[in-house]
Chains A and B, each alone.
Chain A
Amino acid sequence: MNTILQATDIHKSFGRGEARNHVLRGLNLQVRRGEFLAVMGPSGCGKSTLLHILGLMDQPDRGEVMLDGETFSRAAARPQRLRFLREKIGFVFQRFNLIGVLSGRDNVRMSLHVRGRRDDEHVEALLDQMGVSAVAHRKPGELSIGEQQRIAVARALAHRPGIVLADEPTGNLDTDNGLALLDLLRRINRRDAQTIVMITHSAEASDRADRVLRMRDGIIKAE
């Protein structure tokens, strides 16, 4: 099996002493190259925390993440992580995290700029696919939640990352728009063989996935 992403014995807790919150408790996970994986679980169970660790934005207290042949533990060097963030990972945050002073369009362009690239045509095509080209000149503060979410997805896809990590990408869309976005992700996943790990609450979303994993008590429940 061609594994692009593997998490081994991941532990993560927040706080200290009495307030210590042991969120991930020895979690194991494997994702195949080209797979469209959905992760479900009750709110507060650590799905976002897991996704940040898988996306190299946070470090586990213990355990390691193997991504595209390289291993990242707590001690992994920052330049190595940043290089992966630039080249291999596309991330959709649960709270979008768009840059407020830039227009929607420039947010997408900026993510390419950071990566030393520029491809306005591709950016336009993506915005169009997301159905936001008409409003992309506005700043995030002037966009609806759903529009912001779609800009955030466009930003995560702009540099054609090998693996896309999406934290509830349809959480703020109505059913139709949510389904459209899911279909788009599915298409991209098929066409470009991009691996997608998506956190979701909705059954429709998990229906589109190749595989659904359920989280509980800081680990993945047996399938």
Chain B
Amino acid sequence: MVYLPLANIWHHKLRSLLCALGVGISICMLVALTGLARGSLFENADRWESVGADLIVFPRGWADKIANRGVGLSEKYAKLLREKHGDLVERAAGVFCWPMKVAGQDHVVAGVAPEQWDMISGGKAIKEGRLFDPENRFAKWLDDRLLSPATDDRAVEITEADLRDPEHDGLELVIDTRLAAAAGLGVGDTLHAANHDWTIVGLAPTGVMTRIFMPLRTAQFLFGDGDVTKCTMILVKLRDGVDAGPAARTLRDALKLDVIPPKAYRVTLQEHFSIMLNYVDMVNIIALIIAFLFVMNTLYTMVLERKREIAILRSCGASGWFILRQVLGESMILAAAGVVIGVAMSFGASALIGRLKPLLTPELSFHWMLIAAGAAVLGAILSALYPAWRATRINMAEVLVYE
């Protein structure tokens, strides 16, 4: 089979390569950039949704904020939820959130009670090592000293050594495997953060709620403004068969607190970062436009250069459609090559990002690859149309005799 578009591409190897590369780079940009923006953002939401809770209770007005932390509401609500709303609620657990800088990046630390781990982690077991303070000795020790009636009229002093006391070590951490890999930490290592030296006692699988966990009481004691009975939010697991929507409304009205399903967090994130996502999309659109112009310019000069060839086809009686097909064929092949290059490059880029910035999550979605490929093909067609139309206007006698 004689296929002129392929022959032309092969004949002008360097130019074809550059053209396909131009398309490829913009596809890579589209796929990798959106992948990075959305991947890193929604990895966060994915983790929250992995929690084995149906509802999250926040102080009033907090539900549509994205980084809730610190003292928010009394732990007593957890008890209240279990006891007064036992018809709906199976479990309720307070969580105290606080930021902590590890491996050069801010993370949300979740202070959770060890007995609630199975719900917090969505049923995922510790991968390596053990859970911190499994018998909750630190909480008991602290409660004895701070919360028993006998201590009411005494100022209690608690030293660093008390915290670290092997009898009830409160400075134990569980981190997720991804942070462990990124920071080069393992079970038994010591980590200095937030003014304390912590011992890493276990690794949680990647994908759990957050990357760092500590005992609830420790978080409350260290970061809770001296009030060890408050937490940031309460995670609620509903009884089997209870509908989350109506239950959320009932609880909201009864408690006068914000009650949302973990899924809502994604929407909040999306709304909060919509400007950034718009910005990413804008950059992508500009990248695509540049790619189109690039391909169009290449095809246009190509058609001008190929006047003679097209006139020869004409002299054999080639129809406008035949000529259009030659120009279109060439641009489609270049676009297809560009798609292949672009997809390969975005895999490469994501692998590179994964190595250089292990905590970023470029999520190469098939969906965006399809969009990018579609845009490239559409662009190739659109940018070939004008040159192709020009090609069919060529005056064959003039070209064949004088050029």
Partner of B4 from A48, A93, A99, A115 at Cβ < 8 Å: A99
**Stretch from A35-43, A81-89, A169-177, A205-213 at the B interface:** A81-89
A57 touches B317 (CB 8 A): no
Indicate if the CB atoms of B316 and A111 lie closer than 8 Å: yes
Would B316 and A115 count as touching, CB distance under 8 A?
yes
Q: Is A110's beta carbon under 8 Å from chain B?
A: yes
Min CB distance B309 to A, Å, is 5
* Contact code string B285-321 (vs A, CB < 8 Å = 1, else 0): 0000000000000000000000011011111111100
Interface bits A13-50 vs B (CB < 8 Å: 1, else 0) = 00000000000000000000000000000000000100
Q: Which residue of the partner chain A has the closest CB to B7?
A: A101
Is B158 an interface position by the 8 A CB rule?
no
Hey, which chain A residues are within 8 Å of B319, CB to CB?
A: 79, 82
B318→A114 contact, CB < 8 A: yes
Q: How far is the CB of B186 from chain A (nearest CB, A)?
A: 61
A58 within 8 A of B: yes
B11 touches A82 (CB 8 A): no
Q: Is A52 an interface residue (CB 8 A)?
A: yes
Interface string of A100-117 (1 = CB under 8 A from B): 111000100111011100
B11–A101 touching, CB < 8 Å = yes
> Assuming the A-B contacts A57-B396, A102-B2, A110-B2, are A86 and B315 also in contact, with contact meaning beta carbons closer than 8 angstroms in the complex?
no
Interface size (A, Cβ < 8 Å)? Answer: 30
**B358-403 with Cβ < 8 A to chain A:** 396-397, 400-401
Measured CB to CB, the closest approach of chain A to B397, in angstroms, equals 4
Interface members, chain A 53-107 (any B CB < 8 Å): 55, 57-58, 79, 82-87, 89, 91, 93-95, 97-102, 106
By a CB distance below 8 angstroms, the chain A residues around B308 are: 97
B2–A85 contact, CB under 8 A? no
Alpha-carbon distance A102/B5, docked complex (angstroms)? 10
Question: Nearest-CB distance from B38 to chain A (Å)?
Answer: 43
Complex Cα distance, B314 from A82, in Å, reads 8
> B322 at interface (Cβ–Cβ under 8 A)?
yes
Q: Is B274 an interface residue (CB 8 A)?
A: no
| Bound-complex Cα distance A162 to B10 (A) | 35
| B8 sits at the interface (CB 8 A) | yes
Q: Complex Cα distance A213/B59, Å?
A: 105
Are B4 and A102 in touch, CB under 8 angstroms? Answer: yes
* Closest chain B residue, CB of each to CB of A58: B397
Contact of A115 among B1, B7, B317, B400 (CB under 8 A): B317
- Taking chain B's interface residues, is the majority helix, strand, or loop, or is none over half, making it mixed? helix
State A79–B320 Cα separation when bound (angstroms).
9
| A87 B317 Cβ-Cβ under 8 A | yes
A91 contact set on B, CB distance < 8 A = 315
Taking the closest CB of chain B, its distance from the CB of A153, in whole angstroms, is 14
B317 & A52 in contact (Cβ 8 Å cutoff) = no
From A79, A83, A113, B2 is in contact (CB under 8 Å) with A113
The interface residues of chain A lying within 8 Å CB-to-CB of B322 are 114
Besides A83-B317, A97-B312, A97-B400, 13 new A-B residue pairs in contact (Cβ under 8 A), listed by A number: A48-B401, A57-B396, A57-B397, A58-B397, A82-B317, A85-B316, A93-B315, A101-B8, A101-B10, A101-B309, A110-B2, A111-B316, A114-B317
Q: Which residues of A contact B1 (CB under 8 A)?
A: 113
Chain B residues within 8 Å of A, Cβ to Cβ: 1-2, 4, 7-8, 10-11, 308-309, 311-319, 322, 396-397, 400-401
Give the CA-CA distance A55 to B401 in the complex, in Å: 14
Residue of B nearest to A101 (CB): B11
A48 contacts which chain B residues (CB < 8 A)?
401
Give chain A nearest CB distance to B132 CB in angstroms.
Answer: 71
Q: List, in ascending order, chain B residues with CB within 8 A of A100's CB.
A: 11, 309
Residue of B nearest to A111 (CB): B316
Q: How far, in whole Å, are A128 and B221 apart by their CA atoms in the complex?
A: 97
The answer to whether A57 and B316 touch (CB under 8 A), given A102-B4, A106-B7, is no
B301 to chain A, nearest CB (A): 16
Q: Which residues of B contact A97 (CB under 8 A)?
A: 308, 311-312, 315, 400
Query: Contact at A102–B7, with CB atoms within 8 Å?
Result: yes
Tell me the residues in window 107-133 of chain A with beta carbons closer than 8 Å to chain B beta carbons: 109-111, 113-115
A99 and B309 form a contact (CB under 8 A): yes
Interfacial chain A residues near B314, Cβ < 8 Å: 57, 82, 85
Say how far B5's CB is from chain A's closest CB, in angstroms: 10
> How far apart sit A89 and B308, CA to CA, in the bound complex (Å)?
19
| Residues of B with C-beta under 8 A to A115 | 316-317
Ranked 5 nearest A-B pairs via Cβ: A86-B317, A85-B317, A58-B397, A101-B11, A114-B316
Distance A101 CA – B315 CA, assembled complex (angstroms): 17
Q: Are A82 and B397 in contact, with the CB atoms below 8 A?
A: no
CB distance from B285 to the nearest CB of A (A): 35
A119 to B269, CA, bound (A): 64
The CA-CA distance from A48 to B1 in the complex, in Å, is: 33
Most buried by A among B309, B322, B400: B400
CB distance from A19 to the nearest CB of B (A): 15
* 16 interchain pairs, CB-CB under 8 A: A57-B315, A57-B397, A79-B319, A82-B317, A82-B318, A83-B317, A97-B308, A99-B4, A99-B312, A101-B11, A110-B2, A110-B316, A111-B316, A114-B316, A114-B322, A115-B317
B4, B317, B401: the one within 8 Å of A110 (CB): B4
A55 proximity list for chain B (CB < 8 A): 315
Complex CA–CA separation, A100 to B318 (angstroms): 18
